[in-house]
Amino acid sequence: MTVPFSFEVYPPRKPELQAALHATIQALAASGPEFITVTYGANGSSRDASLDCVRYIRENTNVEPLAHLTCVGSTRIEITEVVDSFIDAGIRMFLALRGDPPEGTDASSDYLGELSSASELVELIAERGGDRVIVSVAAFPNGHPQSSTPQQDIEVLLAKQQAGAEFAITQLVFDASDYLSFAAAATATGVTIPILPGIMPVTSLARLRRIVEITGERMPTALEEALEAASSPAEARALGVAHAVDLCRTLVAGGAPGLHLYAFNEHETVLDVLAQVNQPA
């Protein structure tokens, strides 16, 4: 089974981690991904580090970098300057995100900045880059925290498509049925852009619980129980990889157009998953 794939990394949190990240990027790039995405801190807090990272990918690999951008809490002028700085650096692929409200701001408050939605950011990036850019967006198979119904998540994705988004990447998926049912419902509603499922191989119980805490995703109890019963870190890693491999195979068999793997800034685990996915079952 050979399927298009991509990876996500994040800017190093300390300067001394940069060399290790560069080595990971080189290893990921050598596997032939469609693109590598680079995250963008809340309210642009990692703007310079993100730009440095996407610039490194562009200048030192044969892989297209995809830059995350957020707009919440910023003025239109501020966001335009950021978009232009990335385009001027040769970046052509973007993930347009509204982002979380600034710290100390009530999420239900009217203050979200001059661009209050990812759809508006899609339009701005397209306006600044024209046909030179490709804009992607996020999708939420298990619901955005501020959505009132599953259908609202699909309607929002449809609005992003109408604004010019060319594909979507989902938040973490632990259960294939969550993605497959969402994709089917989105298609029925008129969404035609590809929707890539986001997969994060989780190889320790502590990391799984931390991820669920941060993202608010539903706990995959079978994986939690398996990791809790593991007798060693090596066994936990093998269980996490096996879960991700099974998940990827089920997603692709169900029609997923590709796989987007969250690498956690290390390459061994995601490359192990891909190698096993591409082996005969």
CA dist 124 and 115 (Å) reads 9
CA dist 113 and 118 (Å) reads 12
124 in Cβ contact with 115 (< 8 Å): yes
Whichever domain contains 135, its CATH number is: 3.20.20.220
Q: Which residues, at least 6 apart from 168, have a Cβ–Cβ distance to it below 8 Å? A: 136, 137, 138, 139, 157, 160, 193, 194, 195, 196
Report the number of distinct structural domains present in the chain: 1
User: Is 8 designated active site?
Assistant: yes
pLDDT digits (tens, 9 = 90+) for 144-181: 777 778 889 999 999 999 999 999 999 999 999 999 99
CA dist 24 and 29 (Å) reads 8
SS3 94: strand
Q: Which of 8, 64, 120, 217 is catalytic?
A: 8
Give the Cβ contact number of residue 257 at 10 Å: 15
State yes or no: pLDDT of 104 exceeds 70. no
Residue 40 DSSP symbol? -
Q: Specify which residues 64 forms β-bridges with.
A: 35
Model confidence, pTM:
0.92
Q: Specify which residues 167 forms β-bridges with.
A: 136
122 in Cβ contact with 96 (< 8 Å): yes
Per-residue confidence (pLDDT) for residue 22, from 0 to 100: 97
State yes or no: pLDDT of 25 exceeds 90. yes
240 in Cβ contact with 202 (< 8 Å): yes
Q: Which two tokens stand for residue 230?
A: 């593991």
Of 83, 80, 113, nearest in space to 99 by CA: 113
Question: For all residues of the chain together, what is the average pLDDT?
Answer: 91
Give the residue numbers spanning the domain of 170: 5-277
**Residue 105 confidence class, pLDDT cut points 50, 70, 90:** low
Per-residue confidence (pLDDT) for residue 106, from 0 to 100: 56
Higher-confidence position of 192 and 1: 192
Give the Cβ contact number of residue 108 at 10 Å: 7
pLDDT digits (tens, 9 = 90+) for 232-265: 999 999 999 999 999 999 999 999 999 999 999 9
